[in-house]
Structure 1
Amino acid sequence: MFMLIVFYIALAVTIATILIVGIRGFQELMAPIKAAKRDAELAQKNAGK
């Protein structure tokens, strides 16, 4: 029974780590895209003046 509890704790920690790393990686990938969109919008606003 004790080994089963240890196994489930290890599994939960592993899943949490993968999720955190995945979210961080996704945010880093999205940051340049968001910045490019923001720059494009600013350029359009400036061109519209």
Structure 2
Amino acid sequence: MDEDWNDSAKEELGGVGAGVTFMELLNGLVQHHAYHSGQIALLSKF
């Protein structure tokens, strides 16, 4: 199971993506959500 994190996510996503691993995909999703959470926090100050 642990070795699955290094598998390419491209096949599982129907060919979408640039051949990133599941770990890279998860990392990108966390960064993306953190970025938007920061935007929401800044906007809620107004």
TM-score > 0.5 by shorter chain: yes
Deviations 1:1-49 (A, max 9, x none): 67417700000000000000000001101111xxxxxxxxxxxxxxxxx
Q: Which residue among 24, 27, 30 is the counterpart of 1:10?
A: 24
In the alignment, structure 1 segments of 5+ residues that lack a partner are 33-49
Q: For residue 16 of structure 2, what is the aligned residue in structure 1?
A: none
Q: Between Structure 1 and Structure 2, which shows a larger proportion of helix residues?
A: 1
TM-score by length of 1: 0.54
Give the alignment's TM-score, normalised by structure 2. 0.57
Q: Number of residues paired by the alignment?
A: 32
Could you say which structure has the larger radius of gyration?
A: 1
Give runs of ≥4 in structure 1 deviating > 3 Å.
none
Aligned to 1:28: 42
Unaligned runs of 5+ in 2: 9-19
The Cα RMSD (Å) is 2.4
